[in-house]
Amino acid sequence: MSDLFVQLSAPNGCTWLQPTGLFINNEWVKSSNGHKIASINPATSEEIISVYGATAEDVDKAVKAARAALTDPTWRDLSGLERGKLMSRLAKLIEDNRETLATIDTIDNGKPYTVALNEDLTETAETIRYYSGFADKVFGQVIPTNADKFAYTVREPVGVCGQIIPWNYPLAMAAWKLGPALACGNTVVLKPAEQTPLSALFLANLIVEAGFPPGVVNIVNGYGSIAGAALASHMEVDKIAFTGSTETARHIMKMASGNLKNITMETGGKSPLIVFNDADLTEAVKWAHWGIMSNQGQAQVKNVSKVGDPFDASTFQGPQVTRAQYDRVMSYVRMGQAEKATLLCGGKPVKDIGNGKGFYIEPTVFTDVSPEMRIYREEIFGPVAVIARFATDEEAIRMANDSTYGLGGAIFTTNLTRAHQVAGRVEAGTVWINFSNVGDWRVPFGGVKQSGIGRELGQAGLDEYTNIKAVHVNVQSKL
Ligand code: ADP
Protein backbone atom coordinates (compact mmCIF):
# COMPACT_ATOMS: atom_id res chain seq x y z
CA MET A 1 0.00 0.00 0.00
CA SER A 2 1.25 3.50 -0.79
CA ASP A 3 2.01 5.76 2.14
CA LEU A 4 -0.99 7.87 1.13
CA PHE A 5 -3.13 5.72 3.43
CA VAL A 6 -2.03 4.27 6.76
CA GLN A 7 -3.94 1.97 9.07
CA LEU A 8 -4.25 3.59 12.50
CA SER A 9 -5.80 2.57 15.79
CA ALA A 10 -6.62 4.38 19.03
CA PRO A 11 -6.75 3.31 22.70
CA ASN A 12 -10.55 2.98 22.48
CA GLY A 13 -10.16 0.15 19.96
CA CYS A 14 -11.23 2.17 16.93
CA THR A 15 -9.23 1.44 13.75
CA TRP A 16 -9.36 3.31 10.45
CA LEU A 17 -7.51 3.98 7.23
CA GLN A 18 -5.99 7.45 7.62
CA PRO A 19 -5.32 9.45 4.44
CA THR A 20 -1.99 11.30 4.61
CA GLY A 21 -1.95 13.15 1.29
CA LEU A 22 -3.27 16.33 -0.21
CA PHE A 23 -6.84 16.05 -1.46
CA ILE A 24 -6.97 17.80 -4.82
CA ASN A 25 -9.59 17.25 -7.51
CA ASN A 26 -11.03 14.27 -5.59
CA GLU A 27 -7.65 12.52 -5.66
CA TRP A 28 -4.94 11.91 -3.08
CA VAL A 29 -1.50 13.16 -4.00
CA LYS A 30 1.85 13.64 -2.28
CA SER A 31 3.23 17.14 -1.80
CA SER A 32 5.49 18.39 -4.60
CA ASN A 33 8.59 18.33 -2.38
CA GLY A 34 7.62 15.23 -0.41
CA HIS A 35 7.62 17.18 2.85
CA LYS A 36 5.60 15.78 5.75
CA ILE A 37 4.39 17.27 9.03
CA ALA A 38 4.15 15.16 12.18
CA SER A 39 0.82 15.06 14.00
CA ILE A 40 1.42 14.70 17.72
CA ASN A 41 -0.91 13.13 20.28
CA PRO A 42 -0.99 15.76 23.05
CA ALA A 43 -1.97 13.15 25.65
CA THR A 44 1.39 11.38 25.20
CA SER A 45 3.52 13.83 23.17
CA GLU A 46 4.16 10.94 20.76
CA GLU A 47 3.82 11.13 16.99
CA ILE A 48 0.60 9.65 15.64
CA ILE A 49 1.60 9.87 11.99
CA SER A 50 3.23 12.26 9.52
CA VAL A 51 1.07 13.69 6.77
CA TYR A 52 2.00 15.62 3.65
CA GLY A 53 2.22 19.40 3.88
CA ALA A 54 1.42 21.53 0.84
CA THR A 55 3.87 23.84 -0.90
CA ALA A 56 2.79 26.99 -2.74
CA GLU A 57 2.89 24.90 -5.91
CA ASP A 58 0.46 22.37 -4.42
CA VAL A 59 -1.86 25.15 -3.29
CA ASP A 60 -1.78 26.52 -6.82
CA LYS A 61 -2.88 23.10 -8.15
CA ALA A 62 -5.73 22.97 -5.67
CA VAL A 63 -6.86 26.50 -6.58
CA LYS A 64 -6.79 25.62 -10.28
CA ALA A 65 -8.89 22.52 -9.61
CA ALA A 66 -11.38 24.64 -7.66
CA ARG A 67 -11.44 27.24 -10.42
CA ALA A 68 -12.12 24.60 -13.08
CA ALA A 69 -14.88 23.03 -10.97
CA LEU A 70 -16.55 26.41 -10.49
CA THR A 71 -17.43 26.70 -14.16
CA ASP A 72 -17.80 23.01 -14.94
CA PRO A 73 -21.43 22.30 -15.79
CA THR A 74 -21.51 19.35 -13.37
CA TRP A 75 -21.31 21.89 -10.54
CA ARG A 76 -22.23 25.24 -12.08
CA ASP A 77 -25.48 23.96 -13.54
CA LEU A 78 -26.41 21.65 -10.71
CA SER A 79 -29.72 22.78 -9.25
CA GLY A 80 -29.88 24.00 -5.67
CA LEU A 81 -32.04 21.02 -4.88
CA GLU A 82 -29.35 18.61 -6.09
CA ARG A 83 -26.58 20.52 -4.30
CA GLY A 84 -28.64 20.25 -1.14
CA LYS A 85 -29.00 16.49 -1.63
CA LEU A 86 -25.22 16.07 -1.93
CA MET A 87 -24.83 18.04 1.28
CA SER A 88 -27.45 16.08 3.20
CA ARG A 89 -25.75 12.88 2.02
CA LEU A 90 -22.50 14.25 3.44
CA ALA A 91 -24.22 15.07 6.75
CA LYS A 92 -25.47 11.47 6.93
CA LEU A 93 -22.01 10.07 6.14
CA ILE A 94 -20.52 12.22 8.91
CA GLU A 95 -23.07 10.72 11.31
CA ASP A 96 -22.37 7.19 10.09
CA ASN A 97 -18.64 7.76 10.75
CA ARG A 98 -19.00 9.80 13.93
CA GLU A 99 -17.14 7.36 16.24
CA THR A 100 -14.14 7.30 13.91
CA LEU A 101 -14.12 11.05 13.37
CA ALA A 102 -14.45 11.71 17.13
CA THR A 103 -11.62 9.26 17.83
CA ILE A 104 -9.39 11.01 15.33
CA ASP A 105 -10.00 14.41 16.89
CA THR A 106 -9.42 12.99 20.36
CA ILE A 107 -5.97 11.65 19.55
CA ASP A 108 -5.00 14.60 17.35
CA ASN A 109 -6.41 17.46 19.44
CA GLY A 110 -6.64 16.00 22.96
CA LYS A 111 -10.29 16.86 23.57
CA PRO A 112 -12.23 14.30 25.59
CA TYR A 113 -13.79 11.61 23.38
CA THR A 114 -17.27 12.14 24.83
CA VAL A 115 -17.01 15.82 23.96
CA ALA A 116 -15.76 15.15 20.45
CA LEU A 117 -18.52 12.59 19.91
CA ASN A 118 -21.46 14.36 21.48
CA GLU A 119 -20.63 17.97 20.82
CA ASP A 120 -18.22 18.43 17.92
CA LEU A 121 -19.67 15.67 15.75
CA THR A 122 -23.26 16.69 16.36
CA GLU A 123 -22.41 20.25 15.46
CA THR A 124 -20.47 19.18 12.38
CA ALA A 125 -23.22 17.00 10.91
CA GLU A 126 -26.03 19.37 11.86
CA THR A 127 -24.26 22.40 10.40
CA ILE A 128 -23.89 20.66 7.04
CA ARG A 129 -27.52 19.46 7.26
CA TYR A 130 -28.76 22.94 8.18
CA TYR A 131 -27.05 24.50 5.19
CA SER A 132 -28.14 21.68 2.87
CA GLY A 133 -31.68 22.96 3.37
CA PHE A 134 -30.67 26.41 2.18
CA ALA A 135 -29.13 25.23 -1.10
CA ASP A 136 -32.40 25.73 -3.01
CA LYS A 137 -33.40 28.83 -1.07
CA VAL A 138 -30.67 31.24 -2.11
CA PHE A 139 -32.44 33.67 -4.39
CA GLY A 140 -32.80 37.35 -5.15
CA GLN A 141 -35.54 39.94 -5.43
CA VAL A 142 -37.58 41.67 -8.07
CA ILE A 143 -37.34 45.44 -7.74
CA PRO A 144 -39.88 47.59 -9.61
CA THR A 145 -38.27 50.87 -10.65
CA ASN A 146 -40.66 52.74 -12.96
CA ALA A 147 -43.46 52.02 -15.41
CA ASP A 148 -41.31 50.56 -18.18
CA LYS A 149 -38.38 49.18 -16.26
CA PHE A 150 -37.59 46.85 -13.41
CA ALA A 151 -34.61 45.03 -12.05
CA TYR A 152 -34.07 41.64 -10.52
CA THR A 153 -31.21 40.41 -8.41
CA VAL A 154 -29.48 37.08 -8.51
CA ARG A 155 -27.29 35.71 -5.74
CA GLU A 156 -24.26 34.16 -7.36
CA PRO A 157 -21.45 32.23 -5.72
CA VAL A 158 -18.43 34.37 -4.76
CA GLY A 159 -16.17 31.90 -6.53
CA VAL A 160 -13.12 30.02 -5.29
CA CYS A 161 -13.05 30.22 -1.49
CA GLY A 162 -9.87 29.71 0.52
CA GLN A 163 -10.81 28.53 4.01
CA ILE A 164 -8.18 28.51 6.74
CA ILE A 165 -9.18 26.86 10.00
CA PRO A 166 -7.70 26.44 13.48
CA TRP A 167 -7.03 23.44 15.73
CA ASN A 168 -9.56 24.02 18.53
CA TYR A 169 -12.59 22.52 16.77
CA PRO A 170 -11.07 20.79 13.73
CA LEU A 171 -14.28 19.39 12.25
CA ALA A 172 -16.84 21.92 13.40
CA MET A 173 -14.74 24.76 11.98
CA ALA A 174 -14.57 22.92 8.66
CA ALA A 175 -18.37 22.48 8.68
CA TRP A 176 -18.99 26.14 9.55
CA LYS A 177 -17.08 27.08 6.45
CA LEU A 178 -17.98 24.31 4.01
CA GLY A 179 -21.71 24.46 4.77
CA PRO A 180 -22.57 27.96 3.54
CA ALA A 181 -19.91 27.91 0.80
CA LEU A 182 -21.33 24.75 -0.80
CA ALA A 183 -24.96 25.72 -0.29
CA CYS A 184 -24.28 28.83 -2.37
CA GLY A 185 -22.47 26.94 -5.16
CA ASN A 186 -18.89 28.01 -4.43
CA THR A 187 -15.83 25.81 -4.71
CA VAL A 188 -13.34 25.48 -1.88
CA VAL A 189 -9.72 24.98 -0.97
CA LEU A 190 -9.70 24.25 2.76
CA LYS A 191 -6.53 24.29 4.83
CA PRO A 192 -6.80 22.56 8.19
CA ALA A 193 -4.50 23.57 11.02
CA GLU A 194 -1.19 21.75 10.70
CA GLN A 195 -1.52 20.64 14.35
CA THR A 196 -4.83 18.80 13.76
CA PRO A 197 -5.28 17.87 10.08
CA LEU A 198 -6.30 14.22 10.43
CA SER A 199 -10.07 14.47 10.75
CA ALA A 200 -10.42 16.88 7.83
CA LEU A 201 -8.43 14.45 5.68
CA PHE A 202 -10.76 11.62 6.68
CA LEU A 203 -13.71 13.88 5.88
CA ALA A 204 -12.38 14.29 2.34
CA ASN A 205 -13.16 10.64 1.58
CA LEU A 206 -16.74 11.21 2.72
CA ILE A 207 -16.99 14.15 0.33
CA VAL A 208 -16.13 11.82 -2.56
CA GLU A 209 -18.54 9.20 -1.24
CA ALA A 210 -21.33 11.76 -1.03
CA GLY A 211 -20.86 12.40 -4.77
CA PHE A 212 -19.38 15.90 -4.98
CA PRO A 213 -17.75 16.47 -8.39
CA PRO A 214 -13.92 16.71 -8.57
CA GLY A 215 -12.45 20.07 -7.55
CA VAL A 216 -15.49 21.34 -5.65
CA VAL A 217 -13.78 20.68 -2.29
CA ASN A 218 -10.01 20.44 -2.04
CA ILE A 219 -8.32 19.87 1.33
CA VAL A 220 -4.65 20.68 1.66
CA ASN A 221 -2.85 20.39 4.95
CA GLY A 222 0.20 22.58 5.39
CA TYR A 223 1.96 25.18 7.49
CA GLY A 224 0.24 28.54 7.82
CA SER A 225 3.27 30.47 6.67
CA ILE A 226 3.56 28.34 3.50
CA ALA A 227 0.23 26.83 2.44
CA GLY A 228 -1.95 29.34 4.29
CA ALA A 229 0.01 32.28 2.91
CA ALA A 230 -0.09 30.82 -0.62
CA LEU A 231 -3.87 30.60 -0.37
CA ALA A 232 -4.35 34.06 1.11
CA SER A 233 -2.21 35.71 -1.56
CA HIS A 234 -3.35 33.64 -4.56
CA MET A 235 -4.72 35.88 -7.31
CA GLU A 236 -7.30 33.31 -8.39
CA VAL A 237 -8.85 32.92 -4.96
CA ASP A 238 -11.93 35.13 -4.63
CA LYS A 239 -12.54 34.89 -0.91
CA ILE A 240 -10.70 34.02 2.26
CA ALA A 241 -12.58 32.79 5.32
CA PHE A 242 -10.32 32.51 8.34
CA THR A 243 -10.61 31.50 11.97
CA GLY A 244 -7.54 31.93 14.15
CA SER A 245 -5.52 34.54 15.95
CA THR A 246 -5.92 38.27 15.43
CA GLU A 247 -2.23 38.57 14.59
CA THR A 248 -2.49 36.03 11.76
CA ALA A 249 -5.69 37.70 10.54
CA ARG A 250 -3.75 40.95 10.11
CA HIS A 251 -1.20 39.17 7.87
CA ILE A 252 -3.96 37.49 5.91
CA MET A 253 -5.79 40.75 5.29
CA LYS A 254 -2.62 42.22 3.83
CA MET A 255 -2.04 39.21 1.62
CA ALA A 256 -5.68 39.16 0.56
CA SER A 257 -5.46 42.77 -0.57
CA GLY A 258 -3.57 41.83 -3.77
CA ASN A 259 -6.83 41.09 -5.61
CA LEU A 260 -9.23 42.65 -3.10
CA LYS A 261 -10.51 39.32 -1.83
CA ASN A 262 -13.79 39.15 -0.03
CA ILE A 263 -12.91 38.27 3.57
CA THR A 264 -14.57 36.77 6.62
CA MET A 265 -12.52 36.62 9.81
CA GLU A 266 -13.21 35.12 13.21
CA THR A 267 -10.31 35.94 15.45
CA GLY A 268 -9.27 36.25 19.07
CA GLY A 269 -11.38 37.05 22.10
CA LYS A 270 -11.18 37.87 25.79
CA SER A 271 -14.78 37.62 26.74
CA PRO A 272 -16.15 39.03 29.98
CA LEU A 273 -18.50 37.05 32.17
CA ILE A 274 -20.34 39.48 34.43
CA VAL A 275 -21.89 38.13 37.63
CA PHE A 276 -24.19 40.65 39.32
CA ASN A 277 -24.99 40.37 43.01
CA ASP A 278 -28.57 39.35 42.26
CA ALA A 279 -27.45 36.34 40.18
CA ASP A 280 -28.13 32.72 41.00
CA LEU A 281 -24.55 32.14 42.11
CA THR A 282 -24.60 28.34 41.78
CA GLU A 283 -25.68 28.64 38.16
CA ALA A 284 -23.20 31.43 37.49
CA VAL A 285 -20.32 29.34 38.84
CA LYS A 286 -21.40 26.32 36.82
CA TRP A 287 -21.60 28.24 33.59
CA ALA A 288 -18.48 30.25 34.28
CA HIS A 289 -16.62 26.97 34.69
CA TRP A 290 -18.09 25.70 31.44
CA GLY A 291 -17.33 28.93 29.63
CA ILE A 292 -13.68 29.14 30.50
CA MET A 293 -12.60 25.53 30.98
CA SER A 294 -14.46 23.69 28.24
CA ASN A 295 -12.37 22.60 25.30
CA GLN A 296 -9.27 22.78 27.56
CA GLY A 297 -9.82 26.54 27.77
CA GLN A 298 -9.36 26.74 24.07
CA ALA A 299 -12.56 28.49 23.31
CA GLN A 300 -12.18 32.19 22.90
CA VAL A 301 -15.02 32.89 25.18
CA LYS A 302 -13.80 34.01 29.12
CA ASN A 303 -14.17 28.94 35.64
CA VAL A 304 -14.75 21.12 39.40
CA SER A 305 -12.63 20.28 36.27
CA LYS A 306 -11.41 16.72 36.13
CA VAL A 307 -8.22 16.70 34.14
CA GLY A 308 -7.53 13.34 32.64
CA ASP A 309 -6.99 11.00 29.74
CA PRO A 310 -9.24 12.10 26.89
CA PHE A 311 -10.57 8.56 26.43
CA ASP A 312 -11.64 8.34 30.11
CA ALA A 313 -15.39 9.04 30.17
CA SER A 314 -15.12 11.04 33.41
CA THR A 315 -12.61 13.52 31.96
CA PHE A 316 -13.73 17.12 31.57
CA GLN A 317 -10.40 18.61 30.53
CA GLY A 318 -7.81 16.93 28.34
CA PRO A 319 -4.29 18.09 27.49
CA GLN A 320 -3.45 21.35 25.69
CA VAL A 321 -3.21 20.74 21.97
CA THR A 322 0.53 21.22 21.49
CA ARG A 323 3.70 21.81 23.49
CA ALA A 324 3.74 25.37 22.14
CA GLN A 325 0.27 25.99 23.52
CA TYR A 326 1.18 24.35 26.84
CA ASP A 327 4.25 26.60 27.10
CA ARG A 328 2.18 29.65 26.24
CA VAL A 329 -0.44 28.94 28.91
CA MET A 330 2.24 28.24 31.54
CA SER A 331 3.95 31.52 30.65
CA TYR A 332 0.68 33.34 31.39
CA VAL A 333 0.47 31.59 34.77
CA ARG A 334 3.96 32.88 35.62
CA MET A 335 3.00 36.30 34.30
CA GLY A 336 -0.09 36.45 36.53
CA GLN A 337 2.06 35.64 39.57
CA ALA A 338 4.62 38.27 38.56
CA GLU A 339 1.82 40.81 38.12
CA LYS A 340 0.80 40.05 41.74
CA ALA A 341 -2.61 38.61 41.01
CA THR A 342 -3.62 36.00 43.59
CA LEU A 343 -3.32 32.43 42.33
CA LEU A 344 -6.40 30.96 43.95
CA CYS A 345 -5.93 27.45 42.58
CA GLY A 346 -4.16 25.42 39.92
CA GLY A 347 -1.30 26.82 37.87
CA LYS A 348 0.74 23.63 37.67
CA PRO A 349 1.32 20.97 35.03
CA VAL A 350 -0.34 17.61 35.67
CA LYS A 351 2.09 14.75 35.21
CA ASP A 352 0.36 11.73 36.73
CA ILE A 353 -1.74 10.89 33.69
CA GLY A 354 -0.83 8.23 31.11
CA ASN A 355 2.88 8.17 30.28
CA GLY A 356 3.45 11.46 32.13
CA LYS A 357 4.43 13.30 28.97
CA GLY A 358 1.08 14.80 28.00
CA PHE A 359 0.49 18.54 27.85
CA TYR A 360 -1.85 18.70 30.85
CA ILE A 361 -2.37 21.83 32.97
CA GLU A 362 -4.44 22.22 36.14
CA PRO A 363 -7.52 24.42 35.88
CA THR A 364 -6.25 27.76 37.13
CA VAL A 365 -8.02 30.69 38.75
CA PHE A 366 -6.52 34.10 39.49
CA THR A 367 -8.32 36.61 41.74
CA ASP A 368 -7.47 40.22 42.64
CA VAL A 369 -6.91 40.85 38.96
CA SER A 370 -6.96 44.44 37.74
CA PRO A 371 -7.53 45.79 34.23
CA GLU A 372 -3.96 46.88 33.60
CA MET A 373 -2.61 43.34 34.04
CA ARG A 374 -1.73 41.42 30.90
CA ILE A 375 -3.60 38.34 32.14
CA TYR A 376 -6.73 40.53 32.16
CA ARG A 377 -6.19 41.99 28.71
CA GLU A 378 -4.68 39.21 26.60
CA GLU A 379 -6.18 36.05 25.24
CA ILE A 380 -4.63 33.10 27.10
CA PHE A 381 -6.52 30.36 25.26
CA GLY A 382 -6.10 27.90 28.07
CA PRO A 383 -7.80 26.80 31.32
CA VAL A 384 -7.07 30.03 33.15
CA ALA A 385 -9.82 32.23 34.62
CA VAL A 386 -9.11 35.74 35.81
CA ILE A 387 -11.53 37.34 38.28
CA ALA A 388 -11.89 41.06 38.95
CA ARG A 389 -14.44 43.01 41.04
CA PHE A 390 -16.81 45.79 40.04
CA ALA A 391 -19.15 47.99 42.08
CA THR A 392 -21.81 49.33 39.71
CA ASP A 393 -23.47 48.34 36.42
CA GLU A 394 -21.67 51.18 34.66
CA GLU A 395 -18.34 50.00 35.93
CA ALA A 396 -19.09 46.44 34.84
CA ILE A 397 -19.93 47.63 31.32
CA ARG A 398 -16.86 49.85 31.17
CA MET A 399 -14.59 46.99 32.29
CA ALA A 400 -16.23 44.57 29.86
CA ASN A 401 -15.70 46.92 26.95
CA ASP A 402 -12.17 47.88 27.93
CA SER A 403 -10.74 45.47 25.40
CA THR A 404 -9.51 45.42 21.82
CA TYR A 405 -11.63 42.28 21.41
CA GLY A 406 -15.37 41.85 21.08
CA LEU A 407 -16.21 38.20 20.55
CA GLY A 408 -18.52 37.17 23.36
CA GLY A 409 -19.86 38.19 26.73
CA ALA A 410 -22.03 36.60 29.41
CA ILE A 411 -24.30 38.23 31.99
CA PHE A 412 -25.65 36.59 35.15
CA THR A 413 -28.54 38.35 36.81
CA THR A 414 -32.15 37.64 37.80
CA ASN A 415 -33.16 41.21 36.92
CA LEU A 416 -34.70 41.17 33.43
CA THR A 417 -34.28 44.86 32.78
CA ARG A 418 -30.65 44.81 33.80
CA ALA A 419 -30.02 41.71 31.68
CA HIS A 420 -31.23 43.26 28.45
CA GLN A 421 -29.84 46.71 29.13
CA VAL A 422 -26.38 45.35 29.78
CA ALA A 423 -26.65 42.93 26.81
CA GLY A 424 -27.32 45.96 24.62
CA ARG A 425 -24.23 47.76 25.86
CA VAL A 426 -21.63 44.97 25.79
CA GLU A 427 -19.50 45.36 22.68
CA ALA A 428 -19.50 41.81 21.36
CA GLY A 429 -20.82 39.67 18.54
CA THR A 430 -22.52 37.30 21.02
CA VAL A 431 -24.00 37.86 24.48
CA TRP A 432 -25.32 35.06 26.68
CA ILE A 433 -27.82 35.79 29.44
CA ASN A 434 -27.59 33.34 32.35
CA PHE A 435 -25.43 30.86 30.51
CA SER A 436 -22.20 30.90 28.58
CA ASN A 437 -20.31 29.58 25.60
CA VAL A 438 -23.04 27.50 24.03
CA GLY A 439 -23.32 27.98 20.31
CA ASP A 440 -25.90 26.93 17.81
CA TRP A 441 -25.51 26.52 14.06
CA ARG A 442 -28.84 28.33 13.54
CA VAL A 443 -27.52 31.48 15.22
CA PRO A 444 -24.96 33.85 13.66
CA PHE A 445 -21.54 33.94 15.31
CA GLY A 446 -18.68 36.39 14.91
CA GLY A 447 -16.92 39.32 16.47
CA VAL A 448 -16.74 43.08 16.60
CA LYS A 449 -13.60 45.18 17.03
CA GLN A 450 -10.52 43.00 16.62
CA SER A 451 -12.48 39.77 17.04
CA GLY A 452 -13.53 39.58 13.46
CA ILE A 453 -15.29 40.66 10.33
CA GLY A 454 -18.50 39.12 9.05
CA ARG A 455 -20.69 36.39 10.51
CA GLU A 456 -20.70 32.62 10.26
CA LEU A 457 -23.61 30.27 10.94
CA GLY A 458 -27.30 31.00 10.71
CA GLN A 459 -28.86 32.57 7.70
CA ALA A 460 -26.39 35.44 8.01
CA GLY A 461 -23.59 33.00 7.17
CA LEU A 462 -24.94 32.69 3.64
CA ASP A 463 -24.55 36.41 2.96
CA GLU A 464 -20.78 36.00 3.13
CA TYR A 465 -20.79 33.46 0.31
CA THR A 466 -22.79 35.18 -2.44
CA ASN A 467 -22.39 38.23 -4.61
CA ILE A 468 -25.53 40.02 -5.66
CA LYS A 469 -25.90 40.66 -9.37
CA ALA A 470 -28.48 43.25 -10.43
CA VAL A 471 -30.11 42.74 -13.83
CA HIS A 472 -31.88 45.84 -15.15
CA VAL A 473 -34.68 45.20 -17.61
CA ASN A 474 -36.13 47.73 -20.03
CA VAL A 475 -39.60 46.46 -20.91
CA GLN A 476 -40.46 49.18 -23.43
CA SER A 477 -37.44 50.14 -25.45
CA LYS A 478 -37.87 53.91 -25.23
CA LEU A 479 -35.03 56.27 -24.30
P1 ADP B 1 -3.13 29.75 16.61
O2 ADP B 1 -2.18 30.77 17.12
O3 ADP B 1 -4.32 29.57 17.47
O4 ADP B 1 -2.50 28.46 16.15
P5 ADP B 1 -3.18 30.83 13.97
O6 ADP B 1 -3.88 32.06 13.63
O7 ADP B 1 -1.71 30.83 13.96
O8 ADP B 1 -3.80 30.40 15.34
O9 ADP B 1 -3.65 29.62 13.03
C10 ADP B 1 -4.94 29.47 12.52
C11 ADP B 1 -4.82 28.97 11.08
O12 ADP B 1 -4.12 29.95 10.33
C13 ADP B 1 -4.03 27.67 10.92
O14 ADP B 1 -4.60 26.90 9.86
C15 ADP B 1 -2.66 28.18 10.51
O16 ADP B 1 -1.90 27.25 9.76
C17 ADP B 1 -3.03 29.38 9.65
N18 ADP B 1 -1.95 30.38 9.53
C19 ADP B 1 -0.97 30.69 10.43
N20 ADP B 1 -0.15 31.64 9.94
C21 ADP B 1 -0.60 31.95 8.70
C22 ADP B 1 -0.18 32.85 7.68
N23 ADP B 1 0.88 33.64 7.83
N24 ADP B 1 -0.89 32.89 6.53
C25 ADP B 1 -1.99 32.13 6.37
N26 ADP B 1 -2.42 31.24 7.28
C27 ADP B 1 -1.75 31.15 8.42
For residue range 193-229, list pLDDT tens digits in order: 999 999 999 999 999 999 999 999 999 999 999 999 9
Q: How far is CA 109 from the centre of its chain?
A: 13
3-state secondary structure of 268: coil
Overall size of the chain counted in residues: 479
Query: pTM of the entire structure?
Result: 0.97
φ and ψ at 217, to 5 degrees?
A: -125, 125
Is the C-beta atom of 256 inside 6 A of ligand 1? no
Q: What does the pLDDT read at residue 472?
A: 97
Tell me which residue of 134, 176, 172, 171 sits closest to 155, measured CA to CA: 134
Mutate to test the pocket of ligand 1, among 164, 177, 220, 325 (most ligand atoms within 8 A of CB): 164
What domains can be seen in the chain, in order of their start residue?
Answer: 5-267+454-467 (3.40.605.10), 273-439 (3.40.309.10)
d(CA 196, CA 194): 6
Is the C-beta atom of 69 inside 6 A of ligand 1? no
Asked whether the beta carbons of 449 and 134 are under 8 A apart, the reply is no
Is the C-beta atom of 250 inside 6 A of ligand 1? no
How close is the Cα of 245 to the center of ligand 1, in Å?
7
Please identify, by atom number, the ligand 1 atom nearest to the C-alpha of residue 381.
Answer: 3
Q: Where are the beta strands (DSSP E) in 64-148?
A: 142-146
How close is the Cα of 229 to the center of ligand 1, in Å?
9
Whether the predicted pLDDT of 424 surpasses 70: yes
Asked whether the beta carbons of 107 and 43 are under 8 A apart, the reply is yes
Please identify, by atom number, the ligand 1 atom nearest to the C-alpha of residue 192.
Answer: 14
Asked whether the beta carbons of 35 and 58 are under 8 A apart, the reply is no
d(CA 400, CA 346): 25
Whether the predicted pLDDT of 300 surpasses 60: no
Q: What does the pLDDT read at residue 286?
A: 94
Q: How far is CA 405 from the centre of its chain?
A: 17
Average pLDDT over residues 94-99: 98
Whether the predicted pLDDT of 20 surpasses 50: yes
Residue whose Cα lies nearest atom 11 of ligand 1: it is 166
Is the C-beta atom of 384 inside 6 A of ligand 1? no
Average pLDDT over residues 44-67: 98
Whether the predicted pLDDT of 305 surpasses 80: no
CA distances from 249 to 12, 243, 259, 304, 359 (A): 37, 8, 17, 34, 27
CA distances from 168 to 56, 130, 132, 294 (A): 25, 22, 24, 11
Q: What pairs with residue 273 in β-bridges? A: 410
Is the C-beta atom of 194 inside 6 A of ligand 1? yes
Is the C-beta atom of 157 inside 6 A of ligand 1? no
Please identify, by atom number, the ligand 1 atom nearest to the C-alpha of residue 248.
Answer: 6
| Residue 1 pLDDT grade (very low, low, confident, very high; cuts 50, 70, 90) | low
Mutate to test the pocket of ligand 1, among 165, 226, 234, 248 (most ligand atoms within 8 A of CB): 248
Whether the predicted pLDDT of 352 surpasses 80: yes
CA atoms within 13 A on the CB side of 351: 2
Asked whether the beta carbons of 382 and 350 are under 8 A apart, the reply is no
Q: What is the pLDDT of residues 100-149, one digit of tens each?
A: 999 999 999 999 999 999 999 999 999 999 999 999 999 999 999 999 99
| Residue 303 pLDDT grade (very low, low, confident, very high; cuts 50, 70, 90) | very low
Q: What is the pLDDT of residues 177-189, one digit of tens each?
A: 999 999 999 999 9
Is the C-beta atom of 191 inside 6 A of ligand 1? yes
User: Average pLDDT of the chain?
Assistant: 96
The fraction of the chain above a pLDDT of 70, given in percent, is 98
How close is the Cα of 240 to the center of ligand 1, in Å?
13
How close is the Cα of 317 to the center of ligand 1, in Å?
24
Is the C-beta atom of 225 inside 6 A of ligand 1? yes
Asked whether the beta carbons of 205 and 199 are under 8 A apart, the reply is no
Catalytic residues: 266
Tell me which residue of 416, 421, 422, 461 sits closest to 441, measured CA to CA: 461
How close is the Cα of 248 to the center of ligand 1, in Å?
6
Cα dihedral sign, 115-116-117-119: positive
Residue whose Cα lies nearest atom 21 of ligand 1: it is 224
Whether the predicted pLDDT of 301 surpasses 70: no
Q: What does the pLDDT read at residue 295?
A: 79
d(CA 350, CA 264): 38
d(CA 262, CA 469): 15
Classify each residue of 355-381 as buried b or exposed e, where b means 16 or more C-beta atoms within 10 Å of its C-beta: eebbbbbbbbbbeebeeebebbeebbb
Q: What does the pLDDT read at residue 293?
A: 85
Average pLDDT over residues 421-437: 97
How close is the Cα of 249 to the center of ligand 1, in Å?
8
First to last CA, the chain: 71
Q: What does the pLDDT read at residue 406?
A: 97
Is the C-beta atom of 166 inside 6 A of ligand 1? yes
Is the C-beta atom of 193 inside 6 A of ligand 1? yes
How close is the Cα of 446 to the center of ligand 1, in Å?
18
Whether the predicted pLDDT of 377 surpasses 60: yes
